[in-house]
Structure 1
Amino acid sequence: MTERSAIVGAVDCGTNSIRLLVARPDESGRLIDLHREMRVVRLGEGVDATGRFLDEAIERTRVALADYVEVMISQGVQRVRMVATSATRDAANRDDFFAMTARLLGRVVPGAVAEVITGDEEARLSFRGAVGELDPAAGPFVVTDLGGGSTEVVLGDADGVRAAYSADIGCVRLTERALYSDPPTAEELVAATEFASERLAQAFAAVPVEQARTWVGVAGTMTTLSAIGMGLPEYDSDVIHLSRISLPDLNSVCERLIAMTRADRAELGPMHPGRVDVIGGGSLVTMQLAREFSGRAGITELVVSEHDILDGIALGRLPLLDP
């Protein structure tokens, strides 16, 4: 197998962002990044309320995916997989979205189409990507992938996933459902906390998180919280990857962000503009997770990984390569 034929492309399209990874395997089968990129397109804007994608949200996603396709073609990608998660499972007009993605992805690999994956598969892919570089002795791990529309809670170890659940709660969904003011009022925070607790309770009923020894958080909310907690002047994925933050410090960062105005959040160096209006909702969900993991498993810190579902998608393409 030549190095060029081993190049794979992975696209993860969620409620808030669309991300690309182009990579190849090294001799041990681990991924070597050739290109990694994220854009906030807010595909799930309004879906929770209307049940449909907005035309402008599909167009934002189309523009980003068209650019990703050019990158994949220039890098010589031979295998590609695009997955669409929470918002796409909920939208009545998802056929419009899939027709658009098929036209674009077909330029990379004829016949390639985006796939809607179940919450369970989303959780398993996130786990595979998140724990690949961690010491197995630190397990069992509980991995949380806090996205725009859903939060995956996954328990597993070096042998694989033991239990997983995808809860219908994320930073965009919670913000649109309960956090209207800038900053949120006390009444809004109470309602948002109750809603988040209710949705996450289903995950804790399905996943025995008390077995976990290490909490690993992935995706933009978690990485941004870590960057702010470390006081980084700007977002630096190399510094953020596998960073650790104590739960008291994590809660302090979350409380600070929730109380801020959007204008104040926008001034923070590591803050992506597309997260300014929803990071408060993500912080609130994070605080609920921290309280449960501390109380149920005695966990005292969060390990933040830059590797997540995107890496899991890419790793899953490697066995399909030509010999």
Structure 2
Amino acid sequence: MRRVRVGVLDVGSVAAKLEIIDVRGRKPPRSTSLARVPTRLAEGTSANGELDARCLRRLTAAVQQCVRIGSRHDVPMWVTYATAAVRDAANGRHARRLVEAETGLRLGFFTGEQEGRYTFRAAQRWLGGELTMVDIGGGTLEVASGHGPEPESVISAPLGAARLTRQFLRIDPPRGSQVRRLTEVVDGQLAELLRDVPAGQRQFAGAGKVLKLLAQLSNEDAAREDLLLLDDLRDCIPRLSTLDRAGRCALPGVPRARADRILAGAITAEALMRRLGTDQLRICPWGLREGVALREHARHRTGR
């Protein structure tokens, strides 16, 4: 069976991530190369959701660099998409046209529900069995549940960590009243959103960088950084809420691009876990990009 090489380009609020994947027949897709170029879109997004000029330059430069890397690896087929940072931006259409004009690549968009479905597919392939998967991104969060490779229910909501930070935590360090208001809003919205999530799931998985970073920060046992524990997370939130951006950047493993949003991410993760009735999340190393690769593998295998 002929090998097909696919470049999967994920343009997010922190970075443009290119994964070069070889697909061959019924064999699992194999990643041959991974590149990551910073975009830092959240830093240049105004309160009304518009990407500023410097932000747009970083965006196009990041995509251009990924295209050059793909060319060096003889990538003939591209799957390119932008997440909520571009999709939901006030000038997102302009950003998309600018990227296409400068790079030749047309950025696609997935809906929040589609992102949840692809990420669930990746988590289910990694962990197997009955599963509820949660992913806190920059602009949205997704919760997907199911027994097999496709989820039976998917919820997507505009409760991403970067979006919530812009809306509620505008002062650095945030005031106690801002933190309490954010906590109330997130908890209230999740109470409504999660009413129909199937109860009694056997395992809960967390996908994405926010949850992975929280597991590293809150778990003192380095050997168990693949678990995010609710009690440890609750102990971590008061400390994060008192730190300014410089203090959060000084924490082990916290990159500059995620220092602003980590508190909002922690508050949202705590509410999610509590409302789902789980005291731990198993951190899955696979996410949206791998889910898209699995989709391409399925298409190639079936010829569709």
Give the TM-score, by structure 2 length: 0.88
Consecutive unaligned residues in structure 2, runs of 5 or more: none
Structure 1 residues 51 and 181, CA, compared in 2 at 3 Å: closer, same or farther?
closer
Give the counterpart letter for 1:132 in structure 2. R
Give the counterpart letter for 1:71 in structure 2. I
Deviation at 1:159, TM superposition (A): 4.3
Aligned mates of 2:36, 2:157 — CA distance in 1: 23
Q: Per-residue CA shift, 1:91-121, capped at 9, x if unaligned?
A: 3422322223324663xxxxx5211221111
- Secondary structure of 1:50's partner? coil
> 1:80 aligned to 2:78?
yes
Q: Per-residue CA shift, 1:247-295, capped at 9, x if unaligned?
A: 212332344323323222212231111111111111111111121122x
> 1:219 aligned to 2:219?
no
Kept in 1: contact 2:86–2:92 (CA 8 A): yes
> 1:302 aligned to 2:285?
no
Kept in 2: contact 1:47–1:90 (CA 8 A): no
Counterpart pick for 2:113 among 91, 108, 120: 120
* Cross-structure match for 2:243: 260
Kept in 2: contact 1:9–1:314 (CA 8 A): no
* Cross-structure match for 1:109: none
* Cross-structure match for 1:201: 191
Counterpart pick for 1:13 among 3, 6, 11: 11
Give the TM-score, by structure 1 length: 0.83
Give the counterpart letter for 1:250 in structure 2. L
Give the counterpart letter for 1:314 in structure 2. A
Give the counterpart letter for 1:73 in structure 2. S
Give the counterpart letter for 2:290 in structure 1. D
Kept in 2: contact 1:154–1:164 (CA 8 A): yes
Choose 151-160 or 166-175, whichever is displaced more. Answer: 151-160
Counterpart pick for 2:67 among 66, 69, 73: 69
- Secondary structure of 1:155's partner? strand
Aligned mates of 1:59, 1:181 — CA distance in 2: 26
Choose 89-98 or 42-51, whichever is displaced more. Answer: 42-51
Kept in 1: contact 2:139–2:160 (CA 8 A): yes
* Cross-structure match for 1:24: 22
Structure 1 residues 267 and 49, CA, compared in 2 at 3 Å: closer, same or farther?
closer
Aligned mates of 2:29, 2:291 — CA distance in 1: 10
Structure 1 residues 269 and 200, CA, compared in 2 at 3 Å: closer, same or farther?
same
Give the counterpart letter for 2:65 in structure 1. D
Kept in 2: contact 1:123–1:154 (CA 8 A): yes
* Cross-structure match for 2:218: 229
Q: Per-residue CA shift, 1:177-225, capped at 9, x if unaligned?
A: 11123332210111111222233334313x4142422111111111111
> 1:132 aligned to 2:160?
no
Aligned mates of 1:231, 1:27 — CA distance in 2: 43
> 1:248 aligned to 2:231?
yes
The size of the alignment, in residue pairs, is 302
* Cross-structure match for 1:282: 265
Give the counterpart letter for 1:115 in structure 2. G
* Cross-structure match for 1:314: 293
Give the counterpart letter for 1:85 in structure 2. T
Aligned mates of 1:211, 1:230 — CA distance in 2: 25
- Secondary structure of 2:273's partner? helix
Q: Per-residue CA shift, 1:116-136, capped at 9, x if unaligned?
A: 221111111111122211132
Kept in 2: contact 1:225–1:254 (CA 8 A): no
Aligned mates of 2:193, 2:16 — CA distance in 1: 25
Structure 1 residues 37 and 272, CA, compared in 2 at 3 Å: closer, same or farther?
farther
Aligned mates of 2:92, 2:299 — CA distance in 1: 28
Give the counterpart letter for 2:284 in structure 1. S
Aligned mates of 1:86, 1:202 — CA distance in 2: 22
Counterpart pick for 1:162 among 152, 171, 177: 152
Deviation at 1:46, TM superposition (A): 6.2
Kept in 2: contact 1:15–1:87 (CA 8 A): yes
* Cross-structure match for 2:40: 42
- The sequence identity of aligned pairs, in percent, is 25
Aligned mates of 1:315, 1:263 — CA distance in 2: 39
Kept in 2: contact 1:247–1:300 (CA 8 A): yes
Aligned mates of 1:246, 1:82 — CA distance in 2: 34
